[in-house]
Amino acid sequence: MSQQNIRVRFAPSPTGPLHMGGVRTALYNYLFAKATGGKFILRIEDTDRSRFVEGAEDYIVEALKWCGLTLDEGEGIGGDFGPYKQSLRSELYNKAVEDLLEKGKAYRAFDTPDELNALRQDAESRKEVFQYDAKTRGTCRNDLSLSSEEVEKLLAEGTPFVVRFKTPDFAEDVVLIDEIRGEVNISSTVLDDKVLMKTDGLPTYHLANIVDDHHMEISHVIRGEEWLPSAPLHVLLYRAFNWDPPRFAHLPLILKPKGNGKLSKRDGDAGGFPVFPIEWKNHQTGNISAGYREYGYSPEAFVNMLLMLGWNPGDEREKFSLEEAANAFSLDRIVKSGARFSPDKARWFNELYLRESPHEDLAESLAKMAPKFGVNINSNQALSIVTMMIERVSFLGDIFESKWLFEPPSKETFNLKMVKKKWKDETASYIEDLKVMLEGIEDFKADVIEGEFKAFLESRELGFGQVLLPFRIALTGSGGGPSMFEFAEFLGKETTLSRIEKGLATVASIKKELKV
């Protein structure tokens, strides 16, 4: 198949928010299209109206846009193979069903839900599992077991029916070549006669996706491995229509951080991490689930993290832009086994991109988000804060957790354990002397402050730990943070001296209460 003919689709159902596993499926389709000069298509599979969720379709489009996955064709974009929403393609499905009925590859089944339940219960009583297939269809109510007169009567009476696919009457091996897993061989005897058209006249996934993939000239179906058991049925459907099937590639599951099983929203709720790309608001309940965007992840970091969950470039590289990933991407580098999600690794990717972002851009973002945290800073202050703090945070918003950056620490925010452990009886006098030294510095810059500080320690034969940490405690109430010399320059001389004075008084009060 030539590269010019490669067409892939991402085909989600608007039944809720897009899980990060779905985003990864979209990403791999997108990268494969870009790597081969093909087309990336969005198709909305909305034929299951009972599970339709308001706002889900718009959510899918917004999530893909945030991730930078630009569409070549699709709902809202257009193209030569539309419409790209299954609810608008009923004519094609009806024609396909009629074709299968005429060929004897499908049949009408009039069984009621109660009748099917009775068959299942009967099988269970014999410790068996009922399956509607070549062995059992003759005992059911369908146009294979009923006379033509009985069928005509049922149709004339308007009796509800479904259309089922007629699996082979005799056992055969159904073989498909998966681009990731190699040859997959499944006996037709394990397949049941799947419903292709429901009683409401709407197609099931099995029919609609086959018909759409054919008419949209999809060359590669790249989807999650949960669809692998359905692939033999799809191969048989392509054969029944006398159509050439696309190539299949079934992606590994994204596994929960610990234990067995697929990553779920429940795992995210329990572990304190998102599983959706962007915020999802349930219009029925009003419940809101934050996404990676709202947690503070950059789209580049999120996409890079997803890229490495199931694919490797064959070398030690981990950081890829979308363009770099497209240049390196191939289906044969996708792993077969499940990929375990790590919240720590996800944060690492965000830190990686955060560290490499231009400080000016981060400062602009920091200044814009500051009012949301009750803080007002100008662009120069924001740039200074970014320069000091960016190596110490996982997300830009984490900076606002260090409230001492913006206001003097209160007695309630002082680290009592640190005061008790590190503030000795003689410490106050050291800090008093340090304050006098700082008062004498005219050019209050970090390098000058550092030089004078070291001279101060040397003249008094003191170690760094005896003064630097108490200096930090006095100014921040905390035991960690950026360079104290950079922070003092940021505060300015007057504020630095004021904070030292207030800090000394606060520590004295704390120590008195602690009786240490």
Give the distance from CA 489 to its chain's centroid: 41
Euclidean distance between CA atoms 516 and 502, whole angstroms: 19
Omega into 17 within 30° of 0, i.e. cis? no
Euclidean distance between CA atoms 422 and 508, whole angstroms: 13
Instruction: Give the active site residues.
Output: 265
| Nearest Cα residue to 221 out of 60, 47, 13, 25 | 25
Residue 9 · residue 77 · CB < 8 Å: no
Euclidean distance between CA atoms 371 and 291, whole angstroms: 21
Residue 329 · residue 33 · CB < 8 Å: no
- Euclidean distance between the first and the last CA atom of the chain, given in angstroms as a whole number: 80
**Ramachandran assignment for 351, one of left (phi > 0), alpha (psi -120 to 50 degrees), beta (any other):** alpha
Euclidean distance between CA atoms 327 and 313, whole angstroms: 10
Residue 191 · residue 219 · CB < 8 Å: no
- Tokens coding 74: 């699709």
Euclidean distance between CA atoms 505 and 302, whole angstroms: 46
Q: What share of the chain is helix, strand, coil (3-state, %, to 5)?
A: 55, 10, 35
Mark 94-122 as b/e (b = at least 16 C-beta within 10 Å).
eebbeebbeeebbbbbbbeeeeeeebeee
> If DSSP codes are grouped into helix, strand and coil, which group holds residue 425?
coil
- DSSP assignment letter at 120: H
Q: Which residues contact 264 (CB under 8 A, 6 or more apart)?
A: 256, 275
Euclidean distance between CA atoms 244 and 359, whole angstroms: 53
Q: What stretches of 286-337 show up as alpha helix (H) in DSSP?
A: 292-295, 299-307, 322-328
